[in-house]
Each structure stands twice: as structure tokens, then as C-alpha cells.
Amino acid sequence: MICARLPRWLAPALTPAIAAAIYLGLPTPEAEAAKPQRGGGFDEGGYIMLTPGSLVLPFAEDDFTDLDPSFGWGFGGGYMFARGELFKATLGASFEHTVLVLDDYDFKDFGVHVLRFMPEARIGLGTNKIWGYGLFGAGVAGALWFWDFDVPFLNDINGDDSAVGFNVQFGGGVQGIVYKNLFLGGEIDFDLGLFYEGDAGDWRGNADDDFSIFQVAFEFTIGWYF
């Protein structure tokens, strides 16, 4: 009688132990999801970037006017692809604003703003802490200029105009991680801007509505990789 009753008596006590043994024998979620974790730094993922300041040196123009050294700023973002130990590439877009100072004029009297929005790509080599790259981008651009002269004994001469265009950019740079995923960098960019201004009353005094502005920019960058 005792032996016949023993299994029924032990069943409630053994059930938790049997369930625990079965559970421990199953693969854990951690084992199933043993995927490589992002290493941080310049690894695959998104990024944002700010160019708080750049030194801009116009080196050529056609049917425009002489330009002095100027300055600019910009921001952008995108995604980094990391393959193998060293290869890295980014695809993204950027907005840039350059303030051009005309030769022999104060900016408040005669100034130019150039705006650019461009898809861009960077391709290079490096570790998770530092990498160098080449850069190429192309997109739309716009030039806006204004003038406001004080003329003694006469009415002030003032006005503004604008032009749309296309910009091609190429160059290179270096970025380095300084804290977690925060990076600092430097770039040298060449911008080739081609513009069309269709106003018949052209302030440049010629019948050619096309003009170009070529410049090189030395940029300081700061950003974060996600």
C-alpha cells in the first residue's frame, strides 16, 4: 500500500524540480541572440555632424566679382557602413551656408550668401577611434546678394537679387573619437558652384546670365555616432 501511494505522494514535490530541469536544458534567449554588439566609435550606425565654423577661400569666379576670404557653417547626418577591420563609408546629406565678402566692400554694404543642400558620400579607412576619407557630394545651390549704399545728398542705393544653381563638392578629411561616440574632425572641401540669374536688369552689367563661384573651405567638425 505504501509503495502504491508513493508516486502520487511524490508527484507534487517532484513537479517543480522536473520543470526546472527542463527549463535549464532549453537554450536561453541570450544564447539564441548571441549577435555581435556594436563596438562604439566609428562602427556601423547613424551619425549627426555640425560644422560650427570654416575658413572659405574663393579661388576663381566667372562673370561675378572679386571675393575676399570668407567664412561659413553647416550641418548634416547620415549612416556609416563598416566592413572588415578597416573599410568604412558614409552616405548622408548636408546643408551649408557660406557668407561671401566682396573685395573692396564692407559686408553691410554689399554681401553674398551661398546656400547648398547636397547628398554626399565619404569613403575611407580607419579603426573605431580614427579614420580618414575622401568626400564627394553634389546638389542644389542658391546665391543671394544685397547692396545698401549711403550716397551723400541723394537717396540710398539698395536692392537684392538671387540665383539658383548646382554645386559639386569633393575633398577629404580626418575624424577622431574624443569621448564615447563624440568625435572631432577636420575637412578640406572644394566647391564648384554654377549659377543662373535670369533678371534682365543684371547688376553685373553684362548680358551673360550664367556665373560661377569656386572656393576651398577648411572646416572644423564635431558630431556623434549612434
User: Which run of H or of E encompasses 2?
Assistant: helix 2-25
What pLDDT, in 10s, does the model give residues 4-63?
444 554 455 455 445 444 544 555 454 444 444 555 789 899 999 999 999 999 988 887
Neighbours of 64 (CB within 10 A): 21
Please give the pLDDT value at position 187. Answer: 98
Please give the pLDDT value at position 129. Answer: 95
Taken in order of first residue, the domains within the chain and their CATH numbers are: 2-32 (no CATH), 45-225 (2.40.160.20)
Q: What is the pTM of this model?
A: 0.75
Neighbours of 42 (CB within 10 A): 24
Task: Look at residue 84 and give its three-state secondary structure.
Answer: coil
What pLDDT, in 10s, does the model give residues 67-111?
889 999 999 999 999 999 999 999 999 999 999 988 888 877 888
DSSP β-ladder status, 130-149 and 157-179: antiparallel
The residue among 141 and 198 whose pLDDT is bigger is: 141
Contact 94, 75 (CB under 8 A): yes
- 543662373: which residue's cell? 196
Distance CA 110, CA 108 (A): 6
Distance CA 69, CA 53 (A): 13
